[in-house]
Amino acid sequence: MGSTKLIETRKDIDELVNAFYAKVRVDELIGPIFNDKIGDHWDEHLLKIQNFWEMLLLNGDSYRGRPFPPHIPLNLKVEHFQQWLKLFFETVDERFRGQKADEAKMRALNIGRNFLTNIQHYEKQRGDNS
């Protein structure tokens, strides 16, 4: 893509999320995980994620939920989070620039780290209690 823009509106958030998940859905490593979990409910999932990112980047208030628990049973590993971040960073860099684009990448990195740490902790606890 030749030109990039600032992330300023909900439309920009929707563009980011839709473009990112278009990559995720066809990715050889993480695509099957998302496609198996989400099935035919992509529109609902995209709306939830758009609301989530709008909350993080534009102080929106339409997101309701807890993002971590649905990820617990997915058997996610370091390489899955690395690929998720790679695709997210690529999507941001291809389409957007500026402070909010940098913030989106920083937040994605923190989310990935937190999810991975929490999943590893959960798996360790589950293993200790078996």
Instruction: Give the pLDDT confidence score for residue 128 in this predicted structure.
Output: 58
Residue 96 corresponds to which tokens in the numbers above?
A: 């957007």
Query: Could you give the CA distance from residue 58 to residue 1 in angstroms, rounded to a whole number?
Result: 24
CA-CA distance, 126 to 130, in Å (whole number)? 6
8 A C-beta contact, residue 95 and residue 15: yes
In the chain the domains, ranked by start, together with CATH numbers, are 10-128 (1.10.490.10)
Q: What is the mean pLDDT of each run of 10 residues along the chain (130 residues)?
A: 87 99 98 96 96 96 84 85 97 98 97 87 69
Give residue 9's pLDDT. Answer: 98
In sequence order, what are the residues at sequence separation of 6 or more whose Cβ sits closer than 8 angstroms to the Cβ of residue 17? 46, 49, 50, 53
Closest CA to 119 of 75, 86, 89: 75
pLDDT at position 119, please?
A: 82
pTM over 0.85: yes
Instruction: Determine the pLDDT at residue 122.
Output: 74
